Structure 1
Amino acid sequence: MKLRIATYNIHKGVSAFGRKARIHGIKEAIDLLDADLVFLQEVQGQHDLHAENHTLWPQEGQHDFLAGQSHEAVYGMNAVYEHGHHGNALLSRYPIASFVNHDVSDHAYEQRGILHAIVLVDQVQVHCFVIHLGLFAASRRRQVQALIHTIKRDLPDNAPLVIAGDFNDWSQRLSQTLYQELGVIEAFDVDAQHASPQFSLKGMRTILSKANGRHARTFPAGLPWLCLDRVYLRGFKVEEAHVLKGAPWSTLSDHVPITASLELLPQTKSP
């Protein structure tokens, strides 16, 4: 089973300081990606001032506007302020069986959440986690531990996973923890992808712990240098992965998106 995914921090659909609306250009660009699953961060469910100040501002939440008629959408509200709120969202061509938003806010000044949706891909439950981690390293470490705890508690060991979003991990220190604890690979980590899916989960963790953690540069959009956005996977083969640089992406948000073409591997029973 083939699956095309994308992850994108859309910067609330506006330019710096909210001076120009970018949400319509973002919708056109996302439609051209032709992705089955789109993991979105900084999605505005509501913003009354932008609705007043920008002509043709969408009447619905940005997640529903971007989904259009082709995708289902779910939204996890994280940051709430006087004029509205924003959070993470998932757009899916496949049925979304359920979703829950986990509050992983680490302190009063940063409201963060992890959106977990179960998507039915040809009747296989694929667990999708939309991530936007904090700006401080200690916060990110605690938030990753909260993610790991949730996955180990709620999911079978062999459940297919896609964990994607803005990790704010410019020092590239989180991958080894995720490799070791969850047996995932990162879409751009070539060494990790050489590990055979036929190994036991314990064996996979040992192999993946030695991978180099090479990731794509996605920020800032005009000249991407920092590796902030990631796609971590379990139960999939990565056929190809790309960073979408240049026009129109360099002017739509402060991040550029990642796309990945995947193959869902045959499901095996937990040991």
Structure 2
Amino acid sequence: MTGYNDQPSTGACVAFAPPTFRVATYNVHKCRGLDRRVRPARIVEVLREIDADIVALQEVFGADGKSQTFDQAREIAQALGYDLCFGENRRLNGSGYGNAILSRFPLHRAQNYDLSWRWCERRGCLRADIVLDGGFLLHVFNVHLGTSYVERRHQARRLVSAEILSNAELNGARIVLGDFNEWTRGLTSKLLAVHLQSADIRSHLRRPRTYPGILPVVHLDHIYYDSRLQLEKLELHRSHTALIASDHLPLVADFRWASA
């Protein structure tokens, strides 16, 4: 992947200052709200409120190239004017179902990794390579892990493997975000902490729980990031529409590219 800057120039003349950007992770629950109505337009409204540059969606329907049925991911992306990549993990109701990444910046590569384990529900990690202003390369990994403790241990080892997060071809900064279904400090948290920094909600939000949105009892949604990035702000978006649109609330983070 030549032609990208993985860190800002240290020369006397710098064409672009290190960029700042906003990311969000949002499990949209098939766009089905707490009122049981399927309304992608409400998800669009929530994302407009957040105004993130990059959005990771979980539990969303997307097109498989054969049918436009239930193509929620494309409907949301087009309404916002974002680039889109979709990672199908399984078929549901005749349509593709999985994770999506939306971006204001150009998407230059996308790849979906299978994290499934044995008989459990098909799970995946969607990677998108995104070029920010100034040519800064960002690798975004959108993750939705399983609900079983043993299942997540398998998925954690695969996630940090040489094929995915420890891939020698990655020369940009990495962000891993999504629904980890891990509310205690399990193997996933421990392994990711070796490679990346955690956006600690206890430090930024003064609370240990984020799910469900109306009455939080556990913390499922996480963001991990490369040391080349500096976390400026972390927040849980709790607007009136967000409280109804899905059973999860969007977790939003502002980053600055750290100086070389």
Structures share fold, TM-score greater than 0.5: yes
| Matched residue, 2:176 | 163
Larger relative helix fraction: 1
1:232 maps to what in 2? Answer: 224
- For 2:29, which of 5, 8, 11 is the aligned residue? 11
Matched, 1:130 2:145: no
Q: Which digits, 9 at most, give the CA deviation of each residue in 1:175-227, with x for residues without a partner?
A: 222111x1x11122677x9xxxxxxxxxxxxxxxxxxxx98522112111211
Amino acid at match of 2:165: I
* Residue-by-residue CA offset, 1:4-42 (whole Å, 9 max, x unaligned): 1111000001136x9412211111111121100001100
TM-score (norm. length: structure 1) = 0.79
Residues 218, 257 of structure 1: 8 Å contact kept: no
The reply on whether 1:45 has 2:62 as its aligned counterpart is: yes
Equivalence map 1:21-100=2 (5 Å): 21-45=38-62, 61-68=71-78, 69-100=80-111
Query: In 2, Cα distance between the equivalents of 1:163 and 1:221?
Result: 22
* Percentage identity across paired residues of the two chains: 31
Q: Distance in 2 between matches of 1:81 and 1:32?
A: 29
1:241 aligns to 2:246 (yes or no)? no
Partner of 2:166: 152
- Residue equivalent to 2:209: 217
Preserved CA contact (<8 Å) 2:61 2:70: no
Q: Higher RCO, 1 or 2 (CA under 8 Å, sep at least 6)?
A: 2
The size of the alignment, in residue pairs, is 233
Question: Is the 1:222–1:246 contact (alpha carbons within 8 Å) kept by the matching residues of 2?
Answer: no
1:257 correspondence with 2:256 = no
Q: What SS is found at the alignment partner of 2:160?
A: helix
Q: Which runs of 5+ in 1 are unaligned?
A: 48-57, 194-213
Amino acid of the residue matched to residue 77 of structure 2? Answer: A
Q: Deviations over 1:71-105 (max 9, x none)?
A: 10100001213432310000000001100000111
Cα drift, residue 246 of structure 1: 5.0
- Give the secondary-structure state (helix, strand or coil) at the position aligned to 1:73: strand
